Amino acid sequence: METKVHRFRYYNPKPESIVCVSYNKTNKVLALARKNASIEIWDIKHAPFLLQFIPGAENASVEALGWVNERLLSTDLGGALLEWDLDKRHIKKTVMLTGYAAWCLDVNDNNTAVAVGTEQGYVNIYSVENDDIVYQKLFDKQEGRILCCKFDKTGNVLVTGSIDTIRVWNVNSGHATCRISCKRRGKEVIVWSVAILSDNVIVAGDSHGRLSFWDSVMGDQVESFATQKADILSVAISDDEKSLYCSGIDPIITMYVKVDNTGDQSGIQWVKNIQRNIHEHDVRALVVSGERLISVGADGYLTLSSYPPKKVMRIPPMIPSPRTSFCAMKKSLLLRYSNHLEVWQLGSYARDTSGKIVVNSDIKQEILTKKSGALENDTTLIHVNNHEKERSLKVTEEPIKLVSIQTKSKKEIICSEMAPNGDLIVYSTDSDIRMLKLDEDQGNISLRKVIVSGVKACDGIVFTEDSSKMIVHHNSELFLLQVDPDAGASVIHSVSTVKHLKGRPILHLVISQKYPQGYILAISNVKGDISVWGLKNKKLCHMYNVPKHTCVPSSMAIIDGLLVIVYVDQKVIEYDILKEAMWSWPQHGSIPFWTSRNMAAKTISKHPARNAYVFTDEVSIWTVEKTASQSVEPNKKKVPMKNNERLGVNVTPVKYLAGFHWIAEDEAVIVEVLPENIIMQLPPVMVKQRHNISTKI
Amino acid sequence: MAKFQSYYILCPLIDQNSFLGVTEDKESENVVVTLSRNVVNKYRLSDQKQIGGWTSKDHITAPVIYDKEQESYIGVFNKNTIKSWKNDDDNLDKLKKYKFSINILKLVARTNDTALIIFENGNCASLPYGVDNRKTYENKLLIKESETIIDVACCSIDKKEYVCYVLKNKKDAYEILTCPIREELGDLEKAKLNRIKVTRSEDVYVVGHLICTHSKNIYILWSDSKMGIYDIKEKSWKVTFSIPWISTVSEVSVAWMGDNNLIFFGSNTEQDGAILVAYNVALGVGSCKYPMKMYTQHAKLYCFNSRILLQASNHIGMLPYILETDRNLSSLLGSHDAQENQTVIADWGTSDQPLFRISNEMQELLLKGLSERSIFAQIIPSVVKTNDFNHILKALLEFQDIPESNLVMLLNYTIKEMNVDHIDITNEDEFLNFCSSQLDYSEDKYELIPKFVLLNHLLRTSFSDALMLPHLQNGMSLDNGLFLLSYIAYLITETDLYIAHESIMYDWCTLLLDAFYQQYLMIKDEKVSYVLEKVRKIVVGLIDNLNNVSSVMPELDKIINKSQVPEEKVLSTYTIELLNI
């Protein structure tokens, strides 16, 4: 049976460009900061998955990030070195630096010292040992701001780049050992990015689009390439130092490889290898993670690419999930933006006199136009779908925006939820929790504040089926609130989760349907611990912890007494809550094509009409039959399968899926963010000369 | 006037003597070139590409023609055989032959009828009739043994087809033979045969000739560069011209370019090269010349699709040309050489009296030889004094060229007489009511009608805006200007104007805006801004309409061509679709 899918495209939060990244090689965690000073921490060991989100503050900035083991440091234009408390999402320690605005930061390989370059030309060295930040040294003041700095492998040498010069410093003495002038014909050259290789060769990218190689001892230029048409903002070197990447305002990513002709040191040459055209906007930072290159920039996308094999994967800039909530009864949709919420009423389709749905006769044909010089497309996922021609229904009522809710003092929202009856809306910033009642009186919508007492803020909210109780999580504590739209919501019970969840912020908080015994809750944290709780007689009690997997769960749901968990390595686990037994799902065989997935599943739901699970991620909806014979070996080639009944897998591509909810057995809503709408909100890009026609994209 | 573009080569000639001629193809931009006795090629004129061609084992003896009636190509082989073939036939030797008992001179294509077969003995027959009766067809010799047909053409005059021959006898004397032909059969109506000798004084001889089927004339060029025109219908010699720039000592080739223009190819006056001369028959002037390097005697000269095709020594050359109908005085200057001796005066058949009727008051001024302008300037004050609108209008109607100062004066006078001061032009209803009173024949408005007629006529008169501007600035008040502008706005929006008149209205609009520009800027009067806003709305509305028309055109074109209108990929922000999930 076909599902009537509402494609809702009014949700277009402003994409925030990414300013800087820091990659933690030991636990493969990537920290990135956006222009609004929010910090995101992604697990990229398997499918990239957003672990944590620290909302930005007004007038704040993050210029550079750095990992010291599992501690995250950042600098800002205010001239401070900050350490973040990732458990509590706030600043743990602030150290004021010498020399005002701090532009760059680097941590040495031993994780003992951090260097910060500042506006006035001071390099600040701080010791970061023993879980502390202690002032160590200040290098000699130099002319002009320091825009980039890098330790060498030993940690004894620091290279800094500033306007017209590159300096090599002895970290122990604090004096410069070499000053390289890279002024070209009297023109100002800004060194945006430096790197130092183990053979003491400095690689620098500058504002003339020139990638130059220097001898750090003698200060001589070894080689120079001018492949980029504009400023190089980032240089990234692979772990084996055999290849490097550079990119910048000219968003082409150029790869260079080391060629050893003779075997001795003199025969080493760097040569240009390949170019990747995967960004349209400025590339601000590059990170090499094993085989993958991570590139980020003004477009806000987190882009992972590899060569060989040539692949591209883009994760669009989106509000952290869950972004949407839905009330099937009222067909109302709650949309979360960075600092406001919107409630929409879905539209409806036409039915003819006999009650049949009216299908528009015009068949849309998607015209794929591939322009020369266009961006590389995302490496397509397999399309397993009986692709019939898309048939659209006649829309009789357009969706209506009911209300828009601004947060208190415009703070960023941490989480939001709508009660199952569609009347109550709850959201929380990092300091306040708010509950609002949506009243509808003969078409007039009004909002009424409902007082929440007993809890300050939260990072996870669920409602019980009957909307009478609400469970929120805050600071390793679960609160059970009795909700009355008139009297307000008040805490009736609270319990600490520290013992079971090691005090880390939570990733998921899910609740089951009502069982005769009560409700079941499942909570997971960013460490991958999952604990199951029972709600009975207005009391929350811990039942047990689910055995821990090597990676974090990307999504969980309690379906028919089973706790279904999808991990970021695409493993699916079914856990029988009553019998306390678990098995990987499917029990026999495997889900065809499942291993080829590269996106982490964001939601799991049960297909309301069939015995199947529906998994969604940002680019597709996967429906996997529970009963189908899964013994069929997946076909390696990307052949669209005609007979996918046999396979029991159905993939519907959506670009990009922000939310998916079932309305009825044969009706669902997809909240879609089109790539065009993301691009539309981005700043203009560098003008490129293409076939003698200068085009502004 | 004619203008030549640059000369280039259509195709090389194999043998100059065996070249037979160029004829029109099915499409006007293609030509059939009968290159030699065995080769026929088709060329596209626009890019000089060969688009087809045939070879034959039999000798072709006359230019191959395309017969639009039978939609096939027809050629004469070995002087007595006719073959016809279609465009996609490739072997001419396997075609059906129609052998005639008498020799065929050539075939003449006719526009609305089948081709005509011209026999060497001067007889002719339509193609189907000739082919059907080819065995029995034997006619008496129409021309004398000593004569040869050097040119033949067929033209229709008053729905009657005529065949015309230019004959030449052994003594180099020319004769013209015209005869109407019968429908269907295409043979000569011998009773109406007309022969006329081409003669002049002993010392001149014929160097060029052309039977022009467009102007129904036969042009004969003499060695003293005089040209005689023989009218086929009237059977009379009309006028003679003198052709400049070209040497008429040796043979001159003549062709018809269209629009009263002839093209001549001959040796130049210094006799050291050749020249192409375009000559306007209507004006009697040479309009353009093009020097060439090599002169070829008996060169064949044609004009197809705005291109001159010329048989040069070893190739067929092509010279595109443009004919302009506008007569530019400057291009006429200096080209009209005065001929001192024996000017032949053409009989125009008109008297030397002016063609127009003149009133008594003008008679005197006319005799003085004054221009229309000055006559008008002299009489109009007295006419205005009579205060009779019909009289003024009558006077106006007699003149085409009216001085701008008088026009402004008359406009002022009319507006004053219309007593527009009490009309509030910012009141739309009142103004409309006033303007529409010209259509109202009731008693109280009756006297307004002639004034409106006069005003409308004045606004229709052509003028020079540069000359008009100072008069408007000095002679017209702002109020009158605003009234005029509003009235023109009324005419544009509310009445149906024919195009020429409408265009003058726009000129007036621009002019009035220009003339009172400074006042518009300085005066903060509601009336001014109201009128300007009104005009702006009209202009914006008209521009919108034009934009609409131009966007409708391609859509209509697409519909006509039945090409599928590519549907824009609708990415509406909300859709409900049926999907298999």
Q: What is the pLDDT of residues B207-254, one digit of tens each?
A: 888 888 887 888 888 888 788 888 887 777 776 777 878 888 888 888
Q: Read out DSSP for B271-283?
A: SSSEEEEEEETTT
Whether B576 sits inside 8 A of A2 (CB atoms) is: no
Confidence (pLDDT) at A24: 93
Q: Which residues of B touch A7 (CB under 8 A)?
A: 574-577
Q: Are strands A292-297 and A283-289 parallel, antiparallel or unpaired?
A: antiparallel
Q: What is the pLDDT of residue A160?
A: 95
Strands A620-625 and A612-616: antiparallel
Q: Tell me, what's the pLDDT at A388?
A: 56
Partners of residue A390 in chain B, C-beta under 8 Å: 577-579
Distance CA(A670)–CA(B11), nearest Å, equals: 69
Q: Give the separation between CA A162 and CA A121, rounded to whole angstroms.
A: 9
Flag if A347 and B574 touch (Cβ within 8 Å). yes
CB contact under 8 A, B569 and A366: yes
CA distance A168 to A125: 15
Mark B428-441 as b/e (b = at least 16 C-beta within 10 Å): eeebeebbebbeee
Q: How far is A386 from chain B (nearest CA, A)?
A: 8
Q: Does A642 touch chain B (CB under 8 A)?
A: no
For residues A268 and A340, the model is more confident at A340
Q: Best mutation site among A7, A363, A368, A613 for testing chain B: the one with the most B CBs within 10 Å?
A: A7
Nearest CA in chain A to B569: A366
* A8 contacts in chain B (CB < 8 Å): 573-574
Contact at CB, A4 and B567, closer than 8 angstroms: no
Collect all residues from B whose CB is shorter than 8 A from any CB in A. Answer: 566-567, 569-581
- Exposed / middle / buried, residue B28 (Cβ in 10 Å: 0-12, 13-18, 19+): exposed
pLDDT, tens only, B10-52: 888 877 778 888 888 888 888 888 877 788 888 888 888 888 8
What is the share, in percent, of chain A residues with pLDDT greater than 90?
60
Query: Which residue among A4, A347, A364 sits closest to B578, beta carbon to beta carbon?
Result: A4
Model confidence at A366: pLDDT above 70: no
Tell me if B542 sits within 8 A of B534, measured CB to CB.
no
How far apart CA B359 and CA B395 sit, in angstroms, is 9
Q: Which of A46-60, A284-298, B314-328 has the lowest mean pLDDT?
A: B314-328
A284-342: pLDDT as tens digits:
999 999 889 999 999 999 999 998 888 899 999 999 988 999 999 999 999 999 999 99
pLDDT of residue A66: 95
Judged against a pLDDT cut of 60, whether residue A35 lies above it is answered with yes
pLDDT band of B121, cuts 50, 70, 90: confident
The stretch A488-516 carries a mean pLDDT of: 89
Distance between A588 CA and the closest CA of chain B, angstroms: 23
| φ, ψ (nearest 5 deg) of residue B251 | -55, 140
With a cut of 60, say whether residue B1 has pLDDT above it: yes
State which amino acid sits at residue B448. L
Contacts of B565 in chain A (CB under 8 A): none
Helix locations, B386-498, DSSP H = 389-397, 404-418, 428-435, 448-460, 465-475, 478-494
User: Of B446 and A260, which is predicted with more confidence?
Assistant: A260
- Is residue A365 within 8 angstroms of chain B, CB to CB? yes
Cβ-nearest to A650 among B567, B570, B580:
B580
pLDDT, tens digit, for every residue of A435-478?
A: 999 988 877 888 999 999 999 999 999 999 999 999 999 988 99
Q: Do B581 and A364 touch (CB under 8 A)?
A: no
**Nearest-CA neighbor of A83 among A69, A101, A98?**
A69
Please, which pLDDT band fits residue A638 given cuts at 50, 70 and 90? very low
Mean pLDDT, rounded, for B381-402: 80
Mean of the per-residue pLDDT values for chain A? Answer: 87
Are B578 and A621 within 8 A, CB to CB?
Answer: no
Residue A642 in this model has a pLDDT that exceeds 80: no
Residue A404 clears pLDDT 60, i.e. is over it:
yes
Chain B residues with CB-CB distance to A399 below 8 A: 574
Q: Does A362 touch chain B (CB under 8 A)?
A: yes
Answer whether A385 touches B (CB < 8 Å).
yes
Q: Is the pLDDT of residue B556 over 60?
A: yes
Pick from A248-257, A443-452, A645-654, B173-182: least confident: A645-654
In terms of average pLDDT, the best of A507-511, B65-69, B287-291 is A507-511
In this prediction, residue A365 has a pLDDT band, given cuts at 50, 70 and 90, of very low
* Confidence (pLDDT) at A659: 93
Residue with tokens 């002299």: B378
How distant is the alpha carbon of residue A678 from its chain centre? 15
The confidence score (pLDDT) of residue A631 equals: 46
Could B567 and A362 be called an inter-chain contact, meaning their C-beta atoms sit closer than 8 Å?
A: yes
Predicted pLDDT at A503 = 66
Contact predicate B357/B399, CB 8 Å: no
Tokens of B469: 């501007």
Separation of CA B473 from chain center: 41
Whether residue A179 is predicted with pLDDT greater than 60 in this model: the reply is yes
Which residue of chain B is at minimal alpha-carbon distance from A607?
Answer: B581
Residue A236 has pLDDT above 90, yes or no: yes
The reported pLDDT for the residue numbered A224 is: 93
User: Is a pLDDT exceeding 50 seen at residue A162?
Assistant: yes
Query: To the nearest 5 percent, what fractions of chain B are helix, strand and coil?
Result: 30, 30, 40
| Between B32 and B571, residue with greater pLDDT | B32
Reply yes or no on whether the pLDDT at B267 is more than 90.
no
In chain B, what residues touch A359 (CB-CB under 8 Å)?
A: 578
Instruction: Read off the pLDDT of each residue in A381-406 and give the average, rounded to a whole number.
Output: 76
Bigger pLDDT: A191 vs B15: A191
Please report which confidence band the pLDDT of residue B61 belongs to, taking 50, 70 and 90 as the band edges. Answer: confident
Q: Decide if B581 and A4 are in contact by the 8 Å CB cutoff.
A: no
Q: Which of B571, B573, B577 sits opposite A393 (nearest CB)?
A: B577
SS3 content of chain A, % helix, strand, coil (to 5): 5, 50, 45
Considering only residues A243 and A88, tell me which one the structure prediction assigns the higher pLDDT: A243
A677 to chain B, any CB pair closer than 8 A? The answer is no
Q: How far is CA A86 from CA A58, A668, B66, in A?
A: 20, 36, 92
Question: Which member of A7, A359, A652 has the closest CB to residue B581?
Answer: A652
Q: Cα A363–A366–A371 angle (5° rounding)?
A: 155
The verdict on a CB contact (< 8 Å) between B576 and A367 is: no
Res. A514: pLDDT tops 50: yes
Position A136 pLDDT exceeds 60? yes
Predicted ipTM > 0.85: no
The predicted-structure confidence for A643-691, as pLDDT tens digits, reads as follows 445 567 888 888 889 999 999 988 999 999 988 889 889 888 876 655 5
Q: What integer pLDDT is reported at residue B361 of this predicted model?
A: 63
How much of chain A exceeds pLDDT 70, in percent? 91
Mean pLDDT of A544-572: 92
Residue A657 with chain B: CB contacts under 8 Å: none
pLDDT at B332: 53
- Predicted local confidence at residue B359, as pLDDT: 63
What is the H or E stretch that residue B431 is in?
A: helix B428-435
In the prediction, which pLDDT does B340 show? 46
**DSSP-derived pairing of the beta strands A452-453 and A488-496:** parallel
Cα dihedral B478/B484/B487/B488 (nearest 10): -120
- 3-class DSSP assignment, residue B566: coil
CB within 8 Å: B575 and A386: no
Return the bridge partners of A664, or none.
A667
Helix (H) or strand (E) holding B428: helix B428-435
Chain B interface, best mutation among A1, A4, A5, by max B CB count within 10 A: A5
Cross-chain residue pair A607–B567, CB shorter than 8 Å: no
Task: Please judge whether B575 and A392 are an interchain contact, meaning their C-beta atoms are less than 8 angstroms apart.
Answer: yes
- Other C-beta atoms within 10 Å of A17: how many? 19
* B576–A5 C-beta distance less than 8 A: yes
